[in-house]
Structure 1
Amino acid sequence: MAHGAVDVILEQLAALPGHTPRLVCVEGLGGAGKTTLARALTARSDNITLVHGDDFYGPEERDWRSWSPQQGYERYFDHQRLERELLRPLKAGRSATFQRYDWDSNTLDGWVTVEARGIVLVEGVYLLRRELRLYWDFSIYVDAPRELRQARLHARGENDEGWIERWAVAEDYYEGVEQPSQAADLVVSGY
């Protein structure tokens, strides 16, 4: 992400209405560059608290390998817990407390408190589903070609080919049903 693009986004975030906290999402499909952008924004501002959407996954059910693309979209990410434990309290001006998902143990582990101040930036996939859109004061969609995203996922070495493929078809379903790039306030390139 170019330094200039980060500056432009920070200017847009600074111009958001004065209520606190201001809720911002950085959305994109796996490997698009959303975490890179979120970290760049956070590194340049003391007024941004970063929350990772990955904290709101699991615990995975034993049968997840047999899920259809629609079931993956509906069940990989716990959007109801994100809404209940993070977004609702913050939108009401209260601090939020949630349990972080631990990927290694496949359990909810460790409590996180997010203060109701400044900008709370949430980065992840599935954040622009219709039921969450009303919470965002500003939304950014990071777009990148599928080939680049897939190459990045493989380079991470975190998941096998089968998992990456199942994840991709669930994201394809999400993209077709929810059209997150069209719902975003700003679309940026994830190169």
Structure 2
Amino acid sequence: MGLNQAEEATLDELSARIDDLRSARSRTVVAVSGYGGAGKSTLSKALVARGGSRARLRGDDFLDPVRSHQRSTDWDGVDRARLRSEVLEPFRRGERVRFRPYDWHLGALGSITELPDVEVLVVDAIGILHPDLDGCFDLAVWVDVDLATAGTRGRRRDQVAGHDHDALWTDVWLPNDRDFAARFDPVGRADLRYVPEDVAGRE
């Protein structure tokens, strides 16, 4: 399904779709992806805040601190194999999920973390609408912000947080997003599109 065909959904509609899926199965996994800076975390937090036995898994927990700062055409810095084997597959089987998130201060895997016992897991990350994770998601949502706008938002967010990542955005993250989109068409893998309120109607 391509960008022009994927249905656009509001936050209420996304939440309702998740509830529909949840009523049909014991465990539901939702992917929220988009370009860096698009607003993936914000949307995921809003969906989890709607309640109904939901939890969020941060994409940063599966980003390698070194490789995620290097150029690649497949977002090699996202540890998709570990995400699938340690979290997504056991969660879907109804098992207790324990994993080691990356510790950004250590630059290595951190302490073991246990996922809450919930029915819906919302995973927000770059690079997850990829063949390596086919079959892992019951619903895939693309945060529909164009690459240039997403990059501007991401830079502004980092500056507010006191991080000087301008060179990384220019030399690594934006080119990685561009190349990943060209290779794997993550927009076409999405079931629904979501446009953040602060960018809606700008086109």
Rounded to whole Å, the distance in 1 between the matches of 2:179 and 2:94 is 34
Rounded to whole Å, the distance in 1 between the matches of 2:164 and 2:190 is 28
What letter corresponds to residue 113 of structure 1 in structure 2?
Answer: E
Matched ranges for 1:6-155 at <5 A = 6-16=11-21, 18-60=24-66, 67-70=70-73, 73-115=74-116, 117-155=118-156
Rounded to whole Å, the distance in 1 between the matches of 2:76 and 2:148 is 25
- Aligned to 2:100, what secondary structure does the other structure show? strand
Q: Unaligned regions of 5+ residues in structure 1, if any?
A: none
Rounded to whole Å, the distance in 2 between the matches of 1:31 and 1:102 is 21
In the superposition, the TM-score normalised over structure 1's length comes to: 0.87
What letter corresponds to residue 26 of structure 1 in structure 2?
Answer: V
* Count of aligned pairs between the two proteins: 183
Rounded to whole Å, the distance in 2 between the matches of 1:142 and 1:13 is 16
Rounded to whole Å, the distance in 1 between the matches of 2:12 and 2:193 is 15
Superposed displacement of residue 47, structure 1? 1.6
Superposed displacement of residue 38, structure 1? 0.6
Superposed displacement of residue 20, structure 1? 2.0
Cα deviation code 1:135-175 (max 9, x no counterpart):
10111010112232111121122342221121111111111
Assess, with a 3 A threshold, how the Cα gap between structure 1 residues 30 and 59 changes in structure 2: closer, same or farther: closer
Query: Which of 165, 168, 171 is equivalent to 2:174?
Result: 168
Q: Unaligned regions of 5+ residues in structure 2, if any?
A: 1-8
Higher strand share: 1
- Taking only the aligned residue pairs, the percentage that are identical comes to 25
Assess, with a 3 A threshold, how the Cα gap between structure 1 residues 133 and 127 changes in structure 2: closer, same or farther: same
Superposed displacement of residue 69, structure 1? 3.1
What letter corresponds to residue 92 of structure 1 in structure 2?
Answer: R
Superposed displacement of residue 79, structure 1? 0.7
Rounded to whole Å, the distance in 1 between the matches of 2:129 and 2:48 is 20
Rounded to whole Å, the distance in 2 between the matches of 1:32 and 1:144 is 6
Q: Could you tell me whether the CA contact under 8 Å between 1:139 and 1:184 is conserved in 2?
A: yes
Name 2:6's counterpart in structure 1.
Answer: none
Structural RMSD (CA) = 1.9
Assess, with a 3 A threshold, how the Cα gap between structure 1 residues 39 and 68 changes in structure 2: closer, same or farther: closer
Query: Which of 169, 180, 191 is equivalent to 1:185?
Result: 191
